[in-house]
Structure 1
Amino acid sequence: MTAPATQVSPKRRLLLASDRSDQSNELASILQMVGEVDTVPTSDLPDKPSQFAGIVVDINLRSPESVQIVRNKLRTEAYRPMPRLFVLADALHHGSMQAWALGATDTISRPFDAQAILQRIRAAFPDSHGFDATDRGKALNRGVEAAHAVMVKIFEKLPAGVPLKFSDIVAAENKILKAIRHSSLREWLTAVGCHHNDSYRHCLFVTGFAVAFAQHLGMREDDQRRLARAALLHDVGKAFIPVAILDKPGPLTEEETAEMRKHPRRGYDALAAEGGFPPEMLDVVLHHHEMLDGSGYPNGLRDNQISDIVRLTTIMDIYAALVEKRAYRLQHTHAKAFAMMEQMGDKVDQHLLQAFRPIAFGYY
């Protein structure tokens, strides 16, 4: 009887786009330690890169020609879902801003630290074919798809008059919890970080942090579900804020800020009118911008007036906003974001924040 052949999962296949072939050899050698690497000049970037797990872009970010070529390619539907790691000549502000503006989902800088790069690659770029054939890959994909479907119902269908139901959220939560439990927070953030819609990406970041935190704390399954629901729904009121304000590539005016601050009340009113949502979820939607010192909105609640689930969601909400990229500013490092929240003092629950520290610093 012939023994069955051992099935070997294929390696990652990475696309390295370079306009500096003389300097990319070292990077290609590092990448080959974790996968197959196809190196092409930017002028030869393929139109259909579906066979690749991700793209590494090593170009002169001060070259208008190279930047324009890469921008045009990465804006196409074929490239949009792909993780995109950009190589910076250094850690200067200009290069980082240019990379994020072009759609980077992560960056690395010269001089290269081979071990750090390999860790980033393994986390950011799954095995291109073998990944989706694994339970882990399927769980992650299903979780992201389920969460994305909720975002579509919130931000596209709800403003069009299609009601959001509690069952819509419950249908997604199992897949989201399983995705983060069986893959990793890093992989979740990388997957949802490809979203170009800021509102979608923010809600999915908050959901990832919230579920990972709940699982880290060893919460019961029911409590994990409660926190996942709260995170998914917390910004539902933004569906009723003008897109020009939501997507404005810069700081808001006083008038725009006042309009934006209406989103907790609008979200609460919409869900309360629909009915069927638990009171604690309505509490999160209405009060996730309240601060323990009474300086928050819309009701200026203080201390014990703010429930635990709201305190948790508020920490996830602020932290996610700080580590996300924005068109008008660099994303903060995880260490910087955490330090900024510590400096908020009695505005947020510092005991819960310290409990969150292992998640903030450990997801890489």
Structure 2
Amino acid sequence: MTASVNQSPARRRLLLASDRSDHSSELVDILQKVGEVDVVPTSAIPETPPSELSGIVVDINLRSAEAVQRVRNKLRHKSYEAIPRLFVLADSLHHGSMQAWALGATDTIARPFDARGVMQRIRAAFPNPHDEDFSTRGKALNRGVEAAHAVMVKIFEKLPAGVPLTFNDVMQAENQILKAIKRTSLREWLAAVGRHHNHSYRHCLFVTGFAVAFAQHLGMRDEDQRRLTRAALVHDVGKAFIPVSILDKPGKLTEDETLEMRKHPRLGFEALVAQGSFPREMLDVVLHHHEFLDGSGYPDALAGDQISDIVRLMTIVDIHAALVERRAYRMAFTHAKAFEIMEQMGDKIDQQLLQVFRPVALGA
């Protein structure tokens, strides 16, 4: 079937691929509020996307191997590579989410639908250059991502080559990053940096996004937001000195490789200390973001009150970011599942602080 809304061509043009026509009518109604919608069965997904297509929404039974394979075959063509794709989950269970991300999802929504929430997600997933505030928001987001990316280049490419990373390098990026997330949203930031091909860059930018959003959620004063932004950007600086073969290994690390990887906090700490310009709390985050409250972390096996507040916060956003990222050896966890895993970590992390983080984590 085809359902279209005869609106101005300036509106989003969306393709809803659905094998659940009896269940998709509610979704069509919601989608039509934000764009022009063409509805087709997955078998009829065109070989090439319609002109000016903003994005594709896929509503299938993700437990059906046949349906999953059919969508995979249709969307594997090069013409669909750059088209954002939003998948509908029957629930928030991990299996459906894994299948969606394996099919190249750039975002997911789950039944039962909250119409307002779905519309917000669609606007974020499928930006429309004709939206009134798109230009301002888009420019702010792009400037923030570019500024953060420039710091990543200095960390992972120039620093190992002997080009110093300075505190000023990091400070130059913070304004653009803070504005980007404040003027858009954490979800839009994650969507923008989540497509980055370089895993180490992507992880640092995810952590930065979560840290900034957490700071803004807590109502921290501007200077404290800046402190968290700086610390998040450089927290994994030591990975610049770990062999790429280990950083990007598609499978589980060997015992020796794990020991090598665990050197990165101290390597990063020593590199920044040598520069002489970084505040003590940033050095603390770089060295101790893998410490746990029960003393089981590394490299110094700190415990309890030995771990500062800023490190406790950074550890939470670092773990959550890692869980919701796609990895070569596993699919991304949903934000809800990632939060549940962290709750199960018990006294390893600050559970009171984790509960304060809940709205940020589950709202992303």
TM-score (normalizing by structure 2): 0.82
Which 10-residue stretch deviates more, 119-128 or 183-192? 119-128
Deviation at 1:312, TM superposition (A): 1.1
Say which SS state the counterpart of residue 359 (structure 2) adopts: helix
- Output aligned runs, 1:256-267, within 5 Å: 256-267=257-268
Q: 1:90 & 1:229 partners in 2: Cα distance?
A: 37
The letter of the residue matching 2:272 is L
Q: 1:157 & 1:20 partners in 2: Cα distance?
A: 50
Listed as ranges, the gaps of 5+ residues in structure 1 are 1-8
Q: 2:18 & 2:257 partners in 1: Cα distance?
A: 42
Match of 2:48 in 1: 45
Does 1:329 find its partner at 2:330? Answer: yes
Q: Are the structure 2 counterparts of residues 218 and 36 from structure 1 closer, same or farther at C-alpha, using a change threshold of 3 Å?
A: same
Match of 2:12 in 1: 13
Which 10-residue stretch deviates more, 317-326 or 287-296? 317-326
- Output aligned runs, 1:80-159, within 5 Å: 83-87=84-88, 96-108=97-109, 113=113, 115=115, 117-130=118-131, 133-159=134-160
Conserved 8 A contact 1:290-1:296 = yes
Match of 2:253 in 1: 252
Which 10-residue stretch deviates more, 27-36 or 204-213? 27-36
Which 10-residue stretch deviates more, 112-121 or 141-150? 112-121
Say which SS state the counterpart of residue 44 (structure 1) adopts: coil
- Describe the superposition over 1:177-222 as per-residue Cα deviations: whole angstroms up to 9, x where unpaired: 1111222222222222222332222211211111111112221211
Deviation at 1:87, TM superposition (A): 4.4
Deviation at 1:276, TM superposition (A): 1.8
Equivalent in 71, 76, 79 of residue 76 of structure 2: 71
Which 10-residue stretch deviates more, 57-66 or 289-298? 57-66
Q: 1:326 & 1:229 partners in 2: Cα distance?
A: 25
Q: 1:330 & 1:222 partners in 2: Cα distance?
A: 36
Q: 2:22 & 2:204 partners in 1: Cα distance?
A: 39
Calculate the aligned-residue CA RMSD, in Å: 3.2
Match of 1:31 in 2: 31
Q: 2:87 & 2:149 partners in 1: Cα distance?
A: 25
- Number of residue pairs matched? 348
Q: 1:182 & 1:33 partners in 2: Cα distance?
A: 23
The letter of the residue matching 1:13 is R
Q: Are the structure 2 counterparts of residues 153 and 347 from structure 1 closer, same or farther at C-alpha, using a change threshold of 3 Å?
A: same
Say which SS state the counterpart of residue 12 (structure 2) adopts: strand
Conserved 8 A contact 1:16-1:55 = yes
Q: 1:92 & 1:356 partners in 2: Cα distance?
A: 21
Say which SS state the counterpart of residue 229 (structure 2) adopts: helix
Which 10-residue stretch deviates more, 183-192 or 17-26? 17-26
Match of 2:4 in 1: none
Match of 1:201 in 2: 202
Does 1:310 find its partner at 2:311? Answer: yes
Deviation at 1:99, TM superposition (A): 3.0
Conserved 8 A contact 2:16-2:37 = no
Match of 1:228 in 2: 229
- Describe the superposition over 1:115-144 as per-residue Cα deviations: whole angstroms up to 9, x where unpaired: 264343133222233367543332222212
- Describe the superposition over 1:149-173 as per-residue Cα deviations: whole angstroms up to 9, x where unpaired: 2222222333344332222211110
